[in-house]
Amino acid sequence: MTMPHPDLVVVLAGLLAVLIVASVIGYVLQRKLSPDGSNAVVENLNHRIRAWWVMVVLMGLALIGGKSGVTLLFAFCSFAAFREFITLTTTRRADHWALAVAFFIVLPVQYYLVWIDWYGLYSIFIPVYAFLLMPIIAALRGDTDHFFVRIAEVQWALMICVFCTSHVPALLSLDISGYEGRNVLLITYLVIVVQMSDVLQYVWGKLLGRTKIAPKLSPSKTVEGFVGGALSATAVGAGLSWMTPFTTLQAAFLSLVIVLMGFFGGLVMSAIKRDRGVKDWGHMIAGHGGFIDRLDSVVFSAPIFFHLVRYGWSAT
């Protein structure tokens, strides 16, 4: 088994240290403010911390496992997220064959193409071939009731849950001069910046939030929280430039792009939830909702980050 890069070990050790501190704080708050479990804020905080332990451990194992581990992890996340998305669509019995093809052929083929580094095909496989195939299969079943809406929903689910998400492990295929063997750190960097942005926007919003930024979509998001969180996360990304092939200024720019795309991704996915009348996409992750609730920021930022890095730094 290939030993993980020393920088990756340092990053994972840092994340574990942060989680240990957070767990101690959560324990103290629970003992003082919620010994009987009556304080909803404290209980929610501890649920989130426990969920983060699971997510960080799984991500760490996948990163240590290299290309195969990362690809399998995100393929599983895509499958779970795609399943959550489909439960909120208006699919009918006539769509079952198209859905079976999407779940058991399109999804694994997309990740196989990413795994073998076939950029020329995985970059168009879903938005061209799968998008043409899905309506053909559904049309052959002869059910035209809400046909356009049904197909559009499945196509959008594939785009968000599978195509966009697959760009995370695709970062491992980039050939960056002087950065050989360290691509796994690009994934770590992307995930840290995205998640830090979410956390810091929440913190700044609680501290200074006054002006609602999109009250109909996400009542908890404020202008103050967004600005404070975006600037703080950008600073964090700039500070982590040592684990990337970017200069500090370049890392700040890319972090800002990641933060902005993650924020807008969260708004878009919130709009879909509001349209369907649900608070969360699922309940598999205690304190965090479903898989899409954790991936919504990542899926919008991953393909943009991937292509900026590919065209700006990669030789392929």
Residue 223 neighbours by CB distance under 10 Å: 15
Residue partners of 231: CB distance under 8 A and separation at least 6 = none
Query: Long-range contact list for 14-20, CB < 8 A, 24+ apart?
Result: 15/56, 15/60, 15/192, 16/56, 19/49, 19/52, 19/53, 19/56
pLDDT recorded at residue 136 = 94
Check: CB of residue 187 under 8 Å from CB of residue 169. Answer: yes
What is the rounded average pLDDT for all residues in the chain?
87
Residue 303, phi-psi category: left (phi > 0), alpha (psi -120 to 50), beta (remainder): alpha
pLDDT for residue 303: 95
1 pLDDT more than 60:
no
Q: What is residue 1's DSSP assignment? A: -
Buried b (16+ CB within 10 A) or exposed e, 276-302: eeeeebbebbeebbbbbbbbbbbbbbb
Q: What is the pLDDT of residue 209?
A: 80
Query: Per-residue pLDDT for 310 more than 70?
Result: yes
Predicted pLDDT at 119: 95
- Choose the most confident range, by mean pLDDT, from 33-47, 51-65, 116-130: 116-130
Q: What is the pLDDT of residue 48?
A: 73
Give which of 115, 104, 105 is closest to 74, Cα–Cα: 115
pLDDT band, residue 35 (cuts 50/70/90): confident
Cβ-in-10-Å burial (0-12, 13-18, 19+) of 115 comes to buried
What pLDDT does 297 receive? Answer: 82
pLDDT digits (tens, 9 = 90+) for 38-50: 777 677 777 777 8
Which residues sit opposite 176 in a β-bridge? 314
pLDDT digits (tens, 9 = 90+) for 102-111: 999 999 999 9
Q: At what angle do helices 184-208 and 6-33 cross, to 10 degrees?
A: 30
Q: What is the mean pLDDT of residues 19-29?
A: 87
Cβ–Cβ < 8 Å for 281, 157:
no
Which residues are 314's β-sheet partners? 176
Tell me what pLDDT residue 289 has: 59
